Amino acid sequence: MAKIHDTIDARLERFLLDQPVFFVGTAPRSDDGHVNVSPKGMGGTFAVLSEHRVAYLDYTGSGAETIAHLRENGRIVLMFCAFEGPPSIVRLHGRGRVVLPADGEFDELRSHFLKERVLGQRSIIVVDVARISDSCGFSVPLMELRGDRDLLDRHHERRDPEYFTDYLRRRNATSVDGLPAVPAPDEG
């Protein structure tokens, strides 16, 4: 049976931080726009900031749908599933916003993450959580974690900073639906 929680208490915080992967869902306003679901992982890239606020560290990647959707309408849901231990699914619905490295609050927010690599970091996604729910997760499979993949880290480490500026301009400037996504670093 699903349960609604008033806050992210200590037990829920521990559950969220213990999950090695979570899923981010967003959608544009347009009826014919593409709904997006992105898996997120890498240890140290998710943080609970308060009882109603969470954030995750976002690295440069192939798409920028979440950023575009948040810039357009702010709607977001994060879903965490227990793949080991007792079955559980937790969803955090709320309003998200994008904090870019050039923004004044970026450095303070960045201090909440254990992930050390800064090369390739694109933004921090901050979510003001309005609805916290859990459900049984009885059909979620049991899986064993072998570890984080280091492919993105190694890929980014081979690049110089100019690569990311160019990549953001060419590949992350708009969503698949043409919505504005990541402004080039020199555009703010």
What is the model's pTM? 0.95
Cα–Cα dist 124/182, whole Å: 12
| Residue range 139-161: mean pLDDT, rounded | 94
**84, two tokens:** 């080991």
pLDDT tens digits, one per residue of 8-63: 999 999 999 999 999 999 999 999 999 999 999 999 999 999 999 999 999 998 89
pLDDT tens digits, one per residue of 106-137: 999 999 999 999 999 999 999 999 999 999 99
Instruction: Tell me the pLDDT band of 1, cut-offs 50, 70 and 90.
Output: low
Q: Which amino acid is at 116?
A: E
Question: What is the chain's Cα-based Rg?
Answer: 17
CB 69 within 8 A of CB 38: no
